[in-house]
Amino acid sequence: MWPEFIKFSQPDATISGGCLDCLVSFKSKFYINNAEVLHLTDKIYVVGHKSPDTDSVTSAIAYANLKNALGMKEVVPAAAGDINGETKFLLDYFKVPYPEKLTDATDKKVILVDHNEMAQAVDKLNLENIVEIVDHHKIGGLATGKPIFFLNEPVGATGGIIANLYEQNNIAISKQMAGLMMSAILSDTVLFKSPTCTPRDRVAVEKLAKIAGVDPMKFGMELLKAKSNMSTKTAKEILLGDFKKFDFSGTKSGVGQVEVMDLADLAPKRAAILDEMNKMKEAEKLDMVVLMLTDVMKEASDLLFVGSAAAAAGFEKAFGGKLANNSIYKEKCLSRKKQVVPPLEGAFKK
């Protein structure tokens, strides 16, 4: 039976010297007496990855709100790019102001949420200016010169991790913050359909939905409709809407994803999308660019590809098929994190 929000188990307490909260509680002496954090007078930006999605933006807002409630008034949320249609719908619904747009982190202290790889981080970020990281993705080789607070958990969304931190620090969750964190989980797990979804995510959504005062599945469908509306988007906007860079053992890559309720909605723009993918490959000096065209109703993805011959061979190896019309179609494929990035890492591993 899963608790409403997961707390440390007894084995964890043994590892941490018997202190059940010292690893994650912001009230513990190990954290709050850190002069760089507690006495820092500069503004600290909580920011997610470039091409921000709903989890990235809402996690920044919810985590900054938690920090403020714990006395760190200098912490503010930010978005590392333009906010997408789904996130705008959500923020408007719960009447939450849009966060500041941050595209240059020169001389700025930051807390990273929903990512931990420099290739995905806001531009001109100095590693030494990273104060904390809260994430749910694989750890991507980031190395800081000093210890920082780094919380990484294998759950469906960063929003669920932050909801847990509210619970652990006895901070009441408002209707607005509950709505944002609930939506982050629903969006990232594609209404619980994604293989990234865990029992914790379902329990968190149930609790958060009660606070937010909405039916989670009905509201989730509204989110999905807002996310999948491609009618006014250009091919470039579709490509960059949720785009991340990776280095697969020296093969420099970009992997994007767009989720729709019917792949037919993207068919008229397919040629233009491929053209933008080629432009991106040349401009960013990438070996390949991949775009997941995900049909959330059929739970399948058409994996578009452009790249070098060597990259094409690795791509075909990763997905066990042959490229046809610049793509491989994969049933039961919804997650970039679990179903696309790991096979590519394995295929290119030297």
CATH of the domain at 247: 3.10.310.20
Question: Is 3 part of a structural domain of the chain?
Answer: no
Q: Which domain covers residue 333, as residue numbers?
A: 235-348
Q: Which of 167, 196, 223 is the last residue of a domain?
A: 223
**Co-location of 218 and 247 in the same domain:** no
Whole-number Å distance between alpha carbons of 98 and 100: 7
**Co-location of 205 and 273 in the same domain:** no
Question: Is 4 part of a structural domain of the chain?
Answer: no
Contact 164, 170 (CB under 8 A): no
Whole-number Å distance between alpha carbons of 88 and 197: 24
Q: What is the pLDDT of residues 151-162, one digit of tens each?
A: 999 999 999 999
Spans in the chain with pLDDT lower than 50: 1-35, 38-40
Give residue 110's identity as a one-letter amino acid code: V
pTM above 0.85, yes or no: no
**Co-location of 20 and 105 in the same domain:** yes
Provide the pLDDT for residue 142. 84
Question: Is 228 part of a structural domain of the chain?
Answer: no
Whole-number Å distance between alpha carbons of 238 and 246: 19
**Co-location of 219 and 252 in the same domain:** no
Q: Which of 189, 223, 257 is the last residue of a domain?
A: 223
Whole-number Å distance between alpha carbons of 111 and 44: 7
**Co-location of 251 and 134 in the same domain:** no
Question: Is 230 part of a structural domain of the chain?
Answer: no
**Co-location of 70 and 166 in the same domain:** yes
**Co-location of 264 and 323 in the same domain:** yes
Contact 77, 98 (CB under 8 A): no
Helix H or strand E encompassing 96: none
Of residues 224, 121, 213, 133, the one with CA closest to residue 173: 213
Provide the pLDDT for residue 42. 76
Question: Is 229 part of a structural domain of the chain?
Answer: no
Q: What is the pLDDT of residues 127-147, one digit of tens each?
A: 999 999 999 999 987 888 899
**Co-location of 198 and 338 in the same domain:** no
Provide the pLDDT for residue 36. 52
Provide the pLDDT for residue 140. 83
Domain of residue 157, CATH code? 3.90.1640.10
Number of structural domains (the chain) is 2
Q: Which of 223, 244, 266 is the last residue of a domain?
A: 223
- Assigned token pair, 139: 């750890």
**Co-location of 212 and 341 in the same domain:** no
**Co-location of 39 and 181 in the same domain:** yes
Q: What is the pLDDT of residues 85-118, one digit of tens each?
A: 999 999 999 999 999 999 999 999 999 999 999 9
Question: Is 281 part of a structural domain of the chain?
Answer: yes
Question: Is 92 part of a structural domain of the chain?
Answer: yes
Provide the pLDDT for residue 22. 32
Contact 58, 184 (CB under 8 A): yes
**Co-location of 191 and 244 in the same domain:** no
Question: Is 267 part of a structural domain of the chain?
Answer: yes
| 170 C-beta neighbours (distance < 10 Å), count | 9
**Co-location of 62 and 171 in the same domain:** yes
